[in-house]
Structure 1
Amino acid sequence: MTGKQQSSQAVHIILWTAQVLLAALFMMGVIMKFQPIAKISVMMPWMGQVPAWFVRLLGIVDLAAALGLILPSLLRIKPRLTPWAAIGSIVLMLCASVFHIARGEASAIGLNIAAACIAAFIAWGRFTKSPIESR
């Protein structure tokens, strides 16, 4: 294996790691957003201050993000959807940041910014550096 092939393989592994980690983060969000609102709003007060249907809808959006980051590439069925899911994740995290800043919760956006950066890396990597081919 040449140095270029090893480098490409390393990038591929790092991208998969990023995809799995970001998908796991979104799945944690899914689990939280489908807990009883009274229970979860103790840790995250905003969830008790918006309609329950909105919290559940965000849980569904988180689920779509998690699945979009993994399944297209894993199954090699339209794997070009994975970087698009990453871009959607960036938009979601930016919207979440704006939401928290508007509520005076700017200190809560660190995780959103970190997730957006990981998603940007995935989008870049899967579009340009190490795309996954369809079957």
Structure 2
Amino acid sequence: MNIALWIITGLLTAVYLFSGFGKLFVPREKMAAMTDAARWVLDFKPGTLKAIGALEVIGAAGLTLPALLGIAPILVPLAASGLALVMAGAVILRVRRGEIKAALVDGGYLALAAFVAVGRFALEPFTG
């Protein structure tokens, strides 16, 4: 179980770092032009989009750094819970926009983040 949790944590960390830095440094108009699935960014002000990106980057760091450094490892399931909440908002947004396929992808990330949260809170916690 511990190996599965680390693999999923690594995957989520990569996804949220890439996504978060994209929201922080790529202008929303350019991001919206990349794919149809990214047109949702036009629904938000640039500052709100940057806040979402910052939350994703902080959450990604919280998924791995506390456990790797051995400093406050309780932050790992808390970060996973926070990212699960972010993804719950993403699923709601996608469903409201009628983007069902994208909502399913976001729901998958939500499930993975929830799995890490439950796994690190109860199944394989870092602290005894």
> What TM-score results when the alignment is normalised by the length of structure 2?
0.88
Q: Which structure would you say has the larger Rg?
A: 1
> Which structure carries more helix by proportion?
2
Equivalent residue, structure 2, for 1:70: 64
Equivalent residue, structure 2, for 1:21: 11
- Structure 1 runs (4+) deviating above 6 angstroms are none
- Inter-partner Cα distance in structure 2 for 1:93 and 1:40: 19
Equivalent residue, structure 2, for 1:50: 44
Query: How big is the shift at 1:76?
Result: 1.1
Query: How big is the shift at 1:73?
Result: 0.9
% identical aligned pairs: 32
Unpaired runs of at least 5, structure 1: 1-10
Provide, for residues 55-107 of structure 1, a one-character-per-residue CA deviation record: whole Å limited to 9, x for no partner. Answer: 11111011111011111111111101111111111111111111121222233
| Alignment RMSD | 1.5
Three-state SS of the structure 2 residue aligned to 1:41 is helix
Unpaired runs of at least 5, structure 2: none
> What TM-score results when the alignment is normalised by the length of structure 1?
0.84
